[in-house]
Amino acid sequence: MINIFKIVSFLEGLSYILLLFIATPIKYIYDDPTYVKWLGMPHGLLFIGYLALATLLKVELKWSVKDFLIVCLLAIIPFGTFFVGKYLKEEKK
């Protein structure tokens, strides 16, 4: 399940970056909300999937509350989810 989580975390991060740095500027500069509509729903679903998988992995891998909160916080910070895999590897050491 950890591999699925890493894939979802990458896709969630990618959708967040596209939403923040491409779709939102287009919406406000060109008054065209089309891209926000296209990217908003997939990003929302990936975000929910990310949090659901993080919750399942917290139980399965017996993460501490601190580790779980850091993994969840990384979903809110732009580019944060790209570092989840690295963070999890460092925690195993």
Please write the tens of the pLDDT for every residue from 22-42.
999 999 999 999 999 999 999
Helix H or strand E segment including 35: helix 34-61
The reported pLDDT for the residue numbered 66 is 92
Helix, strand, coil tally for the chain in percent (to 5): 85, 0, 15
The reported pLDDT for the residue numbered 90 is 66
Please write the tens of the pLDDT for every residue from 63-87.
999 999 999 999 999 999 988 877 7
What is the pTM (predicted TM-score) of this model?
0.87
Measure the CA–CA gap between 46 and 23, rounded to whole angstroms: 17
For residue 82, what are the contacts with CB-CB under 8 A and spacing of at least 6? 9, 10, 13
Q: Return the percentage of the chain with pLDDT > 90, whole number.
A: 80
At residue 92 the predicted structure's pLDDT band, cuts being 50, 70 and 90, is low
